[in-house]
Amino acid sequence: MKIVVCVKQVPDTAEVRINPETGTLIREGVPSIINPFDMHAIEAGLQIREKAGGTVTVLTMGPPQADAALREAISMGADAAVLLSDRAFAGSDTWATSYTLSKAIEKLGADIIICGKQAIDGDTAQVGPETAEFLKIPHISFIRKIEEVTQDSIRVQRLMDDGYDIVESGLPVLLTVVKELNEPRLPSLKGKMAAKKADIKKWGPADIMAEENNIGLKGSPTQVKNIFTPEPRTGKRMLEGTPEEIVDVLLRELRQMKCV
């Protein structure tokens, strides 16, 4: 069983600030982490390997520093890692990112591809399904439980607004996972040693035979026109007095909002 887990190194969004003059993000000094949902994807990959055998390869596209995210994944138990890094990949939107990942996955070969449901910096949740489309394989989004994996099929629970669906698919398949799925393991000592020594492959466009017009800024149909900070909420009112008085005001407001 060949398992590929796609991860993204993201800034810890709790720490992101905006440059008020340029309206751009200040990423300097913001700690980088593995996208939290991707931690669950890595764990899912490792658990499938433990049951069904095979290898877990972690794949990311990003700057050279993303090497750290891959080593962290190896310290958790991944077997190998690939870094897609080249200036030509810069400026990719979800279309170009998915195309690029799919070319790398084609080269690696995979029975199961696992992604976090979305990255916390972009929050699009699009790269998983788009990658599946480029690979011409089915995908199942928002998985909260993996019920069964065999050598050629999988049965999972997919989170929906009103509950969940039990969904079956043949392999290969791409899965996107939510946090509820599992608890990511901590790196082991042996894993940490392996991470230090690991030889991480670094691939550029030529290594994955990517078409120049489909990658980076050139391959991205969408453009960011501008970025702005949302207006802060105004008109905050602190309620004071006895609990009875406070509840009186709350009830009045609830009635005004027609919530009662």
Partner 1 sequence: MRIEINRDKCSGCEECISSCPFEAIVMHEGKALINELCQICKMCITVCPEGAITEIDEGEEQKTVQEGKGVWVFAEQREGKVASIAFELLGAGRRLADELKVELSALLFGSSRLEAENLVKWGADKVYFCDNPIFEKFNDEPHAQLLSDLITRYRPEIVIAGATPIGRSFLPRVAARLRTGLTADCTSLAIDSETGNLLQIRPAFGGNIMATILCPDCRPQMATVRPRVMKKGEYREDRKGEIITVNADNLISRTRVIESVKDVCEIAVNLHEVDIIVSGGRGLGEPKGFKLLEELAGLLGGAVGASRAAVDSGWIQYRHQVGQTGKTVCPKLYIACGISGAVQHLVGMQSSDTIIAINKNPDAPIFNVASFGVVGDVYEIIPLLIKRLKESRETGNP
Instruction: Provide, rounded to whole angstroms, the least separation between the CB of residue 67 and partner 1.
Output: 23
Instruction: Provide, rounded to whole angstroms, the least separation between the CB of residue 86 and partner 1.
Output: 18
**Between the CA of residue 143 and those of 37, 105, 115, 229, what are the distances in Å?**
11, 21, 10, 32
Q: Which is nearer to partner 1, 193 or 249 (CB)?
A: 249
Instruction: Provide, rounded to whole angstroms, the least separation between the CB of residue 19 and partner 1.
Output: 11
Q: Name the region of 59 (left: φ>0; alpha: ψ -120 to 50; beta: rest).
A: beta
Q: Which is nearer to partner 1, 53 or 229 (CB)?
A: 229
Rg (CA), the chain: 22
Instruction: Provide, rounded to whole angstroms, the least separation between the CB of residue 232 and partner 1.
Output: 8
Q: Which is nearer to partner 1, 167 or 194 (CB)?
A: 167
Tokens of 5: 């887990």
Q: Which is nearer to partner 1, 186 or 238 (CB)?
A: 238
Identify the CA nearest to 128 among candidates 138, 119, 117, 112: 117
Q: Which is nearer to partner 1, 27 or 196 (CB)?
A: 27
Can you tell me whether residue 193 is helix, strand or coil? helix
Q: Which is nearer to partner 1, 14 or 189 (CB)?
A: 14
CA atoms of 232 and 80, how far apart (whole Å): 45
Instruction: Provide, rounded to whole angstroms, the least separation between the CB of residue 187 and partner 1.
Output: 20
* Residues comprising the chain, all counted: 260
CA atoms of 39 and 43, how far apart (whole Å): 6
Q: Which is nearer to partner 1, 170 or 190 (CB)?
A: 170
CA atoms of 10 and 61, how far apart (whole Å): 11
Tell me the torsion sign for CA atoms 253, 255, 257, 260: positive
Instruction: Provide, rounded to whole angstroms, the least separation between the CB of residue 171 and partner 1.
Output: 10
Q: Could you say which DSSP state residue 214 is in?
A: G
In sequence order, the 6+-apart residues with CB closer than 8 A to the CB of 235 are none
Instruction: Provide, rounded to whole angstroms, the least separation between the CB of residue 246 and partner 1.
Output: 6
